Structure 1
Amino acid sequence: MTTIVKWQGSGMAFDATASTGHTVRMDAAPEVGGENTGPRPMEMVLMGLGGCTGIDVVMMLQKMSQDIKDVQIEIESERSSEIPKVFTKIHVHFKVYGSELNDKKVKRAVDLSAEKYCSVSKMLEATVEMSHDFEIIEV
């Protein structure tokens, strides 16, 4: 897996291109020379976590024949006040929307993703206090 990150020539904007060809822009806040044209790199870490665990949970719930209509993942984080301002705590909250969802199956999918399958979560847990929970919303 290879990613190329290229400065856009002014300000603090960088475009990252993954080996799959997909590109995303990252930028800094205006107060540090950015133009706010993309998410901050640390926001990208949280987005990657959400995408990774979300894919796991949706795949598992589909295999468990759960009638899911939507999954939303809300991630809250805390960072160190000292430089480098690393994450110290991350909480992942799943909102699983569906019809007649089985609480035990949803819990199992969320737990398996957080504790076994999500590579991003496993990588972060080495240095970050990680937690997760879920709620089922009938639709």
Structure 2
Amino acid sequence: MECTIDWGGPEGMLFVARTGSGHVAAMDGAPDGGGHNLAPRPMEMLLSGAGGCAAYDVVLILKRGRHAVTGCQVKLTAERAETDPKVFTKIHFAFAVAGKALPAAAVERAVQLSHEKYCSASAMLAKTAAITHSVTITDA
């Protein structure tokens, strides 16, 4: 896996990431840090990546179990250390999963498997952050 990050220049703190899979993502800083608030912060991207990784796992596990999953949202809330490096110290994953007659045990198991076995991003972040999760299931 690889990616290249290019700085947008001396007028700000805009960075453009080009991934090995051929995609582009922008990152920027807050105005008080020299940025122009044109894109997510790098740490927001890191948190988003963990959420995407976990949601991907949950949907895939449920589909492989032949459950009729129709929606999956995960909202992450995080706290960071007050001193540099300002690592994440707490992260909560709030899953909202929808489907037709989804067994609660299957959804909980999918979330557990993601956090304990499959999600590489969560595994790395768990080195500095206490990770918790909650699950809400709706019939859809």
TM-score of the alignment, normalized to the shorter chain, above 0.5: yes
Identity of aligned residues (%): 45
Matched, 1:132 2:133: yes
Structure 2 partner of 1:8: 8
Matched, 1:78 2:69: no
Unmatched 5+ residue regions in structure 2? none
Q: How many aligned residue pairs are there?
A: 139
Q: What's the TM-score, normalizing by structure 2?
A: 0.96
Which 4+ stretches in 1 moved above 2 angstroms?
none
C-alpha deviation, 1:78, in angstroms:
0.5
1: CA distance, partners of 2:38 / 2:83: 26
Render the CA deviation track for 1:103-137: whole Å, top value 9, x for unaligned.
Answer: 11101100000111000011111121111121101
2: CA distance, partners of 1:8 / 1:21: 19
Structure 2 partner of 1:87: 88
| 1:114–1:132 contact (8 Å) kept in structure 2 | no
Render the CA deviation track for 1:8-57: whole Å, top value 9, x for unaligned.
Answer: 11300000111011010000011211111110011001100011111111
C-alpha deviation, 1:86, in angstroms:
1.1
Unmatched 5+ residue regions in structure 1? none
Structure 1 partner of 2:36: 35
Render the CA deviation track for 1:57-81: whole Å, top value 9, x for unaligned.
Answer: 1000001111111100010100111
1: CA distance, partners of 2:111 / 2:89: 21
Q: What's the TM-score, normalizing by structure 1?
A: 0.97
Q: How large is the RMSD of aligned CA atoms in angstroms?
A: 0.8
Structure 1 partner of 2:113: 112
Structure 2 partner of 1:100: 101
SS in 1 for 2:61: helix
SS in 1 for 2:50: helix
